[in-house]
Amino acid sequence: MALNVFDHDEYRPPVWKSYLYQLQQEAPHPRRITCTSEVENRPKYYGREFHGMISREEADQLLSQAEGSYLIRESQRQPGTYTLALRFGNQTRNFRLYHDGKHFVGEKRFESIHDLVTDGLITLYIETKAAEYIAKMTINPIYERVGYTTLNQEPTLKKLLPHSPEMPDGPVPIKDGRNTERLTSLVRRATLRESDMVPKYEKVHNFKVHTFRGPHWCEYCANFMWGLIAQGVKCADCGLNVHKQCSKVVPNDCQPDLRHVKKVYSCDLTTLVKAHNTKRPMVVDMCIQELEARGLQSEGLYRISGFSELVEDVKLAFDRDGEKADISSNAYEDINIITGALKLYFRELPIPLITYDAYPRFIETAKITDAEKRLESLHEALKLLPPAHIETLRYLMAHLKRVTDYEKENLMSSENLGIVFGPTLMRAPELDAMTALNDIRYQRLVVETLITNEDVLF
């Protein structure tokens, strides 16, 4: 029997709302009021819209002819400062105008005064006409109905996606003879296949202000993203496009897309494991598996450094090839190159394995002299770590414990490994140099205790 995808409550094709789009189309257009006479000392980055040092009253009279009229004047009270005078809502509005290579009156920066005024008129018009509507945009969002699901009917869903010329950011057919479509990040979430074996780590979205080319709709509330530039924000990890105000209420359920996550090293740990749909970073698993296969008895394991250029070569291999990177003995005979690559991975994490937020608690724990109380405190401190971090730490500590099982051969005790891994897994959050130096002994003690008691703590 054919499967009807709409039997599932989790997914219905989104309906994009056109009200704000229509308002943008209705917004007044800029009308430059040019100065007919030559003005002395006109800044080179202003054109004929600059009228020199005229009064507010004179500007008001010049602008009274039409909505959207604008000019620039120099302040009479503060010479050398400039004001954009703009006609909107049958009154003149004055904005302090700045230039630092681009023009701006607020956060947005524009290449031209015309673009600044165009964007300003759109914003003023929409926020005046639809203030109440905008305030309620985040209520009953489509995001709550789509979200991340475990539906496996991706090909079926692709065929059933809404398709309308009024939705420029929706699915667009690719004319290559194949029945394929570009999925928005919203629909990608709806069709995502998740493995039951992989933990569902929580991850916040990595939103950055973004300028969308052509009309775009918010993938949280389904409303149009108005303006000429910086209309909203885009998640740098999963590509989710939303209004700035909607970004504050989007759940912490980012599912990174490998099209956005371009590297392995220097990538946030949770972002990496969610992008690759794994429990731990593949570089950690692969390096440890390689080490345990051929290096546990190697003298000075982790203490002796591998040749730095070859360690960098391993890093580039992971960034380029991911889990297909070749780190076998055929490629790298010296096991110290693999240990160097693993340590480098942890050192280059933007947020350390033992996070900045949890760092003070771990240091305080190390200062406890009573061994039993220190262990209890360490158990509580571990709860402060994000799930992907604690899983990776658990796996690493179990490995290091096995390294100590071969101490007679490799000469690496838990204390020696603590000296190596303390500063690698823990970094002081903006502490002065002296405090950071004093913390090194406590970092060593934290790692040493974690290795020795890994079977109890994890």
Kindly write down the DSSP assignment for every residue of 367-418, as one continuous string: T--SHHHHHHHHHHHHTTS-HHHHHHHHHHHHHHHHHHTTHHHH---HHHHH
Element counts in the chain: helices (H) and strands (E): 19, 8
Q: What is the C-alpha separation between 240 and 253, in angstroms, rounded?
A: 11
Quick one: DSSP state of residue 429?
A: S
55 and 76 Cβ atoms separated by less than 8 Å: yes
Q: Walk me through the domains of the chain, giving residue ranges and CATH numbers.
A: 18-136 (3.30.505.10), 139-148+200-260 (3.30.60.20), 282-456 (1.10.555.10)
Summarised one tens digit per residue, pLDDT across range 226-267 is: 999 999 999 988 889 999 999 999 988 888 887 778 789 989
148 burial class (0-12, 13-18, 19+ CB within 10 angstroms)? middle
The closest of 76, 109, 82, 114 to 95, measured between CA atoms, is 82
Give me 293's structure tokens. 């296969």
- List of the chain residues with pLDDT < 50: 1-12, 147-196
Q: What is the C-alpha separation between 215 and 12, in angstroms, rounded?
A: 22
140 and 131 Cβ atoms separated by less than 8 Å: no
| Radius of gyration of the chain, Cα coordinates, nearest whole angstrom | 29
Give me 130's structure tokens. 């639809």
The closest of 342, 349, 353 to 443, measured between CA atoms, is 353
User: For position 158, what pLDDT does the model report?
Assistant: 33
302 and 421 Cβ atoms separated by less than 8 Å: yes
3-class SS at 435? Answer: helix
DSSP character string of 42-68: --TT--TTB--S--HHHHHHHHTTSTT
Strand order of the sheet with strand 103-104? 31-32, 69-74, 82-88, 91-99, 103-104
User: For position 202, what pLDDT does the model report?
Assistant: 82
Q: What is the C-alpha separation between 171 and 266, in angstroms, rounded?
A: 33
145 and 179 Cβ atoms separated by less than 8 Å: no
The closest of 205, 207, 242 to 225, measured between CA atoms, is 242
Judge if pTM exceeds 0.95. no
Q: Which residues contact 145 (CB under 8 A, 6 or more apart)?
A: 10, 11, 12
Distance of CA 280 to the CA centre of its chain: 19
3 and 154 Cβ atoms separated by less than 8 Å: no
Q: At what angle do helices 308-321 and 335-347 cross, to 10 degrees?
A: 70
